[in-house]
Structure formats: C-alpha cells, structure tokens
Structure 1
C-alpha cells in the first residue's frame, strides 16, 4: 500500500511539474534594446531637460494561471529605473524607482510591450499592453531628431478610456519607440515634445 501511494504521489508531482514554458524568442528580444545600465537624457522643445536612470535589467517568470496544474510559465524582461516624480509642481526634484518598460510572453503565446513612462510633467497612460504581433505588421517610420536619424520607429498612442486623462497637464499623447534605441521621443499636448539627446 505504501509503495502504491508513493508511486501515485511521484506521478502527480511529475505531472504537475510538466508545465509549459512560454519563452521570448530572438525576434521578441529585438524590441528590448536596453542593457539595463543606461541613462536617458531628454530635452524638451521648451528648453527643459530630464533624465531617466536605469538601475537593472531582469528576467522574470510570470504564472498567469498559478492555480492550474498545467499552467504555463511566461518569460518576461523588465527594465527598472529611477525617474523624476511627475507629481511635484514646485521647483524641487524628487526621484522615484519604478519599472520603465518590459516585454512579456503571454499565456496565449503573444508577446506584449509595456512602457511605463513617468518623467517630469509627463505620464504615458496606457491601460493595456502593446501587442508586438500588431506592431510587427506596421511599417516603421523614419524620424529625425536634433541629434540623430532613426529608421525603425513605431508610433504608439496614449490611451484615455476613462475620459479624463487627456485633460491632465502631464498627458503624453504619443511615444516614438525605436527597435534599435528604445524610447526616442514623446509628445504632449500643445505641441510640446521631448527628444532623446544621448
């Protein structure tokens, strides 16, 4: 009886440990150009500047259906950063730590990009992730900034499903994402924009 119980227990453990790994592909990694130790310096067309300091790049495993026996494990890569607090209105500067961007394999096999842009006077509101399958079908544009020319740029619009984000002073209307360099520009209302200068 003990041997039968032990055999059944071992088989259950073996079956439970046979979950699928949803790994990022080489083409998925092309959307994450950062090493994790960079400093991004942005200058606005109004003469202001701000920096985002990357702290580390980390590979994470998510378990979207953690209670299921055969739940997939989904690989993700995330950049953590230190950024200016976007809420402070006076001249003081305060830095916060957060994630900046990530690519993540979802349980259905799709890969998503998330950009969590938080800087001085700027927040990129996006309720859902950006599906890379959709972006891969779009032809990239060429964007010329004051410092560089990029030939692999994708424009991603901010979202305002709630109806009141667009009225905020810090609302980012769109970001410009280069596959080779990452975030290179973001636009705000009233023709204000910030460009990567390094």
Structure 2
C-alpha cells in the first residue's frame, strides 16, 4: 500500500510541473548577452543604464522536484535582472521574476493582460502590459511596463519616479 501511495505521489509530481519553458513563454526573455538598456527619468533627465552581461539557461538533468528549466539575465555585477522559470513543485506554473519588483508573475496571467501602446521620448511600443508588485510585497519598484518584444520599457519606483527606456542596443 505504501508503494502505491509513493508511486501516485511521484506521478502527481511529474505531471504537476512543466519541465521546460515553451517557445511562447521564452519570448518573456527578450534579452541577449551584450544588450544595453538606457533609461531616463523625464523630470530631471537623469540616466540609468543596465548592461546585460550574460544569459544563463539551466535545465535540470535530475528529478524535476525543486527546479525545472530556467533562464536568467544578469547585469555586470552578477545580479539577476530577469528570471524566467518553468516552475517547480511549490510554484508549478511558469513565471517571470524581475529584480526590484516583488512577486512571481505567472506567464499565463501575463498572457491574459490587455496590451497597450506606450511611447517614450525616443521609442514607441504597441505590445505593452503592466506588471505591478504583489500586494503586501516590499518592493523598490511598484510598476513595470513590459513590452512583450523588448522587455522593460518603463518602470515606476516606490518614490513615484518614472524611468523610461530611451535606448536598447547590443554590443556582442
């Protein structure tokens, strides 16, 4: 009887999580190693730059209990900027995490969001969704405007300063 219960438990685990990130979900990682994102605060024209130093893709070669496929974009300091995961036992749905913004944002929920148009001083986007911090979460960033093709195009910090993407280039 214990063997049957153990077998059923393992079977449930194996179907509860998606092992790999689908092609559609992988579009939530629009960055490549060498990308440079320049943001401007329109009120005082201050600039902030993010250098994507590397992209790591991890695929578990063992039991998929704790980790499934994940892709992370790192800055020059070695801190992750974007984390796209196929989920795992505790969070079985694929999700997106963005440094500074609290929460794991399920891809299936992001796909349901209404796309809007957004223009910065130098660029326009027509595939933008709003991603907000989880309620009750402690977060430096409270809102991110995410282009499904380009990634972060605008973000608002907890002090209500707004930063807009003015340049996206690659230095491979």
TM range (shorter): 0.7 to 0.9
Specify which structure has the bigger relative contact order, considering alpha-carbon pairs within 8 angstroms and separated by 6 or more residues: 2
Distance 1:61 1:149, change over 3 A: same
- Structure whose CA Rg is larger: 1
8 Å contact 1:125–1:160 — kept in the other structure?
no
Matched, 1:161 2:155: no
SS at match of 2:55: strand
TM-score (norm: length of structure 2): 0.76
**1:61 Cα deviation (Å)?**
3.0
1:78 to 53, 56, 72: 72
Question: Which residue of the partner structure matches residue 136 of structure 1?
Answer: 111
Q: Which runs of 4+ in 1 moved over 6 A?
A: none
Distance 2:159 2:65 in 1: 47
Question: Which residue of the partner structure matches residue 98 of structure 1?
Answer: 79
**1:107 Cα deviation (Å)?**
2.7
Distance 1:47 1:70 in 2: 47
Consecutive unaligned residues of structure 1, counting only runs of 5 or more, are: 1-18, 83-95, 117-123
> Aligned-residue CA RMSD in angstroms?
2.6
8 Å contact 1:177–1:184 — kept in the other structure?
yes
Question: Which residue of the partner structure matches residue 49 of structure 2?
Answer: 51
Distance 2:85 2:160 in 1: 32
Distance 2:158 2:85 in 1: 30
8 Å contact 2:28–2:151 — kept in the other structure?
yes
Question: Which residue of the partner structure matches residue 125 of structure 2?
Answer: 150
8 Å contact 2:19–2:64 — kept in the other structure?
no
Matched, 1:192 2:161: yes
Matched, 1:28 2:28: no
TM-score (norm: length of structure 1): 0.66
Distance 2:121 2:56 in 1: 32
8 Å contact 1:22–1:72 — kept in the other structure?
no
